Chains A and B, each alone.
Chain A
Amino acid sequence: MNATYAIVAFPLAGSILLLFGGRLIRQPFSGWLATFAAFASFGASVYVWASMLGRPASDRHADLGLFRWMPVADLHVNFGLYADQLSILWCLFSTGVGALITLYSIGYMKGDPGFSRFFFYLNLFLFSMVVLVLADNFLFTFLGWEGVGYCSYGLIGFWFDRDSAAVAAKKAFVTNRIGDFGFMIALFFMFEHFRSFNFSAVLFPLTAHHAVLAGTTATAIFLLLFLGAVGKSAQIPLYMWLPDAMEGPTPVSALIHAATMVTAGVYLVARAAPILHFSPDSQWIVASVGAGTAFLAATIACKQDDIKKVLAYSTISQIGYMMLAEGSGDYPAGIFHTVMHAFFKGLLFLAAGSVIHALHDEQDMKRMGGLFRYLRVTGVCFLFGFLALAAIPPFDGFWSKDQVLAAAWHKSPALWALGVAAAGLTAYYMSRQFMLVFTGQARWRDQAAEHGAAGHAAVGGSAAGHDALEPHEPPLTMLVPIVVLAFASLFGWLLNAPFGGLDFISRWLAPVFPATIAPAVHVATGTKWVIGAVAAGMAFLGLFFGLGAWRGGVVDRPALEPAFLEHGWYIDESIAVAVSGPLATAANAASFAVDAGWVDGLINGVARAAAQTGRQLRRLQTGYLRNYALGIGLGAAAILFYMTMRAGG
């Protein structure tokens, strides 16, 4: 179990080496160093997992203290790692997918002036994520939580000389901050009630039913924690930062969406399950927020032209499913979907990055088309990811989404209906994306010609840009991760298939979610069949509708692309008008009236008072000896007088 330290140590060592030695290490090698650190961390995770397998199910956890972090009165916060089934599962897919993405980045970021800085952030990101997952108390979790937030800020704004990237990074950071305040207040509540942050003091007595929690306390603590999870996992109402986060390099999008960051909220809810158990209201809120987000984001994704933004909204939607499952009480289903999502969403982003790479940074799907001929490997892999996300059997997404929907049905048919509708939309917008990118006319050719005529040699780099633009498959470092993830998208569901005793994840996680805190979700077998059939039916319906509607190189279908969807129901704009407008006015007013008038006035006033005092005091320094002598004489007389009076009195 001591290998748990190595999971954390490798990415940390990698990031420190790159921070101080990044300039010294030549370009490809810093990438290989980071990749090695990530794969070593994955290896350590596998080792810990294997050694856990060798133990009885009840003994598969260990609290590994490092040192006491904050010994203040009766508050003792440790730097300690807690390895159990849940945290190791998270480590496995975070570091595994993260390592593949790091490998992919070597090819994708080739030639970028910030090459080493990029890999420094990637390793730090991975380190923060494993700290978040492996911490043995909530405060230490919060440290990783903030670390992930900081790294996402640095990576989204990686090309900070682009204005839009800098703004997107700020937006992500500020939106996350709102959630973080919820997390912090939850920590204060928790300390007030439990006098501790440790899982062993807060959660485990509840799990073992040695203690109960009042409903109001549980609701307060959990909903504030959930606010943090909503911010980090981009759920309603704090989801706006995720589509904008597409400003970062594509591997970053893959890392944020698949392996790390956004799944942190799902982890937090799963970890805080003992608290959630005592608050039925919160369960409803979590499930409703999840279902609502799944549906809303799916509708917006139907009319996005940026290849990465479609995937971004689909991520928001899929995390909605995970929250829906957790709110419905079926944690293994939500976590199963998280793992499957890590596979196929990582794949989709990496494949999209390959497309963007081939077209020299073109991201508008309406200017793509016909790419299947040129990018056969990428195209087939993208197809796998698309079918997995669209929940077409037998790909990953079908099995995990099926379990989520069964749990939702158990909770409420209304939530289930939202989920099913979102599933249909998912299949539709993904087939739209596939058709626009890989079939039809090669619209990027006209684009390149236009560019050439306009004198923009940026695409091809020369007058012979037309030939130079012939799209080609990316280098092997990029292709290998895509292919590996494509296989994972095809066979990953075998980790938790609902038949033949293949439900490994459910059984693995059973000791973490005993019946005391997560009563079993019973859905009759017949109902399950119907639910599965309906989900598959909806998926096929969406799929065929999408394939039909976007067949034959159609580019614009105004009826299917209403403007309000392109603008995401105008939610972002409304917030901008409602909050930013008055807020900006108030800030402007404050900058002139309060800042220039009062604050500056106060500071200048102090300075002016000091200068004036000095100007008056210098009159005492006349330079005439007799004045000084008189001063000394009077002073001596005054002291003498005082002493005499005292002696007399």
Chain B
Amino acid sequence: MTVPSAWYLILAAVLFTIGATGLLVRRNVLVMFMCIELMLNAVNLTFVTFARLLNDIGGQSDVFFVLVVAAAEVVVGLAIIVAMFRRRAAATADDIHTLRG
């Protein structure tokens, strides 16, 4: 039996919502970072699903681009997080709000 493609989409939506909610409610920078990754991969899942559904290779190739960009983003993001932790122990995202109006 095949899994209906709607299930994949629902799974992707659930994953995306978890990621977005996590990004908004959590204070830990590392967790927020992982939430972003979760959202990215939820989107990747929809890409692949639609590629399969519509029989179009374009969706799958887009996923590669997203993966590459995500990898680059991880490098930059982790570097920033490491630098942050060096300056102050146990920093949360809300501690860094000096750029307010």
Contacts from A to B (Cβ < 8 Å):
617-626, 629-630, 633
Contact = CB atoms under 8 A, between A and B. Distances in A.
Interface stretch (B54-62, B81-89, B90-98): B90-98
B63 to A, nearest CB: 20
Contacts of A630: 24
A322 B97 CA distance: 87
Contacts of A617: 101
Contacts of B96: 623, 625
A619 B101 contact: yes
A622 B94 CA distance: 10
Contacts of A620: 101
Nearest to B99: A623
Contacts of B101: 617-623
Contacts of B25: 626
A323 B96 CA distance: 88
Nearest to A615: B101
B23 A621 contact: no
Contacts of A622: 97, 100-101
Contacts of B20: 633
Nearest to B35: A629
Contacts of A625: 32, 93-94, 96-97
Nearest to B29: A625
Given A618-B101, A619-B101, A624 B24 contact: no
A161 B71 CA distance: 79
A629 B97 contact: no
Contact residue range for chain B? 10 to 19
Contacts of A621: 99-101
13 contacts: A618-B101, A620-B101, A621-B100, A622-B97, A623-B96, A623-B98, A623-B100, A623-B101, A625-B93, A626-B93, A629-B23, A629-B24, A633-B24
Given A622-B97, A623-B99, 8 more contacts: A621-B99, A621-B101, A622-B100, A624-B93, A625-B32, A625-B97, A626-B23, A626-B94
Contacts of B24: 626, 629-630, 633
Nearest to B23: A629
B97 A623 contact: yes
B24 to A, nearest CB: 5
Contacts of B100: 621-624
A620 B99 CA distance: 12
B58 to A, nearest CB: 20
A617 B101 CA distance: 9
A626 B32 CA distance: 10
Contacts of B94: 624-626
Contacts of A626: 23-25, 93-94
Interface in B30-70: 32
Listed residue (A620, A621, A623) with the most chain B CB atoms within 10 angstroms of its CB: A623
A445 to B, nearest CB: 83
B56 to A, nearest CB: 19
B49 to A, nearest CB: 18
A617 B100 CA distance: 12
B88 to A, nearest CB: 16
A438 B84 CA distance: 101
Nearest to B25: A626
B95 to A, nearest CB: 10
Nearest to A621: B101
Contacts of A629: 23-24
- Most A CB contacts (10 A, CB to CB) among B20, B23, B32 go to B23
B19 to A, nearest CB: 11
A625 B97 CA distance: 8
A635 to B, nearest CB: 13
A627 to B, nearest CB: 9
Nearest to B98: A623
B9 to A, nearest CB: 15
4 smallest beta-carbon distances between A and B, as pairs: A621-B101, A623-B100, A623-B97, A618-B101
A625 to B, nearest CB: 5
Interface in B1-35: 20, 23-25, 32
A623 to B, nearest CB: 3
Residue of B25, B94, B99, B100 most packed against chain A (CB within 10 A): B100
Contacts of A618: 101
Query: Which of A618, A619, A621, A629: most chain B Cβ within 10 A?
Result: A629
A87 B15 CA distance: 96
B64 to A, nearest CB: 23
A620 B100 CA distance: 8
A621 B99 CA distance: 8
B97 A624 contact: yes
A621 B101 CA distance: 5
B84 to A, nearest CB: 12
Nearest to B24: A626
A333 B61 CA distance: 102
A630 B32 CA distance: 13
B55 to A, nearest CB: 22
Nearest to A633: B20
A540 B80 CA distance: 110
A626 B27 CA distance: 9
A5 to B, nearest CB: 68
A630 B20 CA distance: 9
A137 to B, nearest CB: 63
A633 B36 CA distance: 12
Contacts of A624: 93-94, 97, 100
A629 B23 CA distance: 8
A629 B25 CA distance: 11
Contacts of A623: 96-101
Contacts of B93: 624-626
Nearest to B97: A623
A630 B24 CA distance: 7
Nearest to A618: B101
B25 to A, nearest CB: 8
A619 B100 CA distance: 8
A613 to B, nearest CB: 13
A623 B100 CA distance: 4
B34 to A, nearest CB: 14
Nearest to A619: B101
A618 to B, nearest CB: 3
A161 B47 CA distance: 85
B22 to A, nearest CB: 11
Interface centre among A617, A625, A630 (most CB of B within 10 A): A625
A323 B94 CA distance: 91
A367 B17 CA distance: 106
B39 to A, nearest CB: 10
B71 to A, nearest CB: 22
A190 B9 CA distance: 82
A626 B92 CA distance: 12
A620 B97 CA distance: 13
Contacts of B99: 621, 623
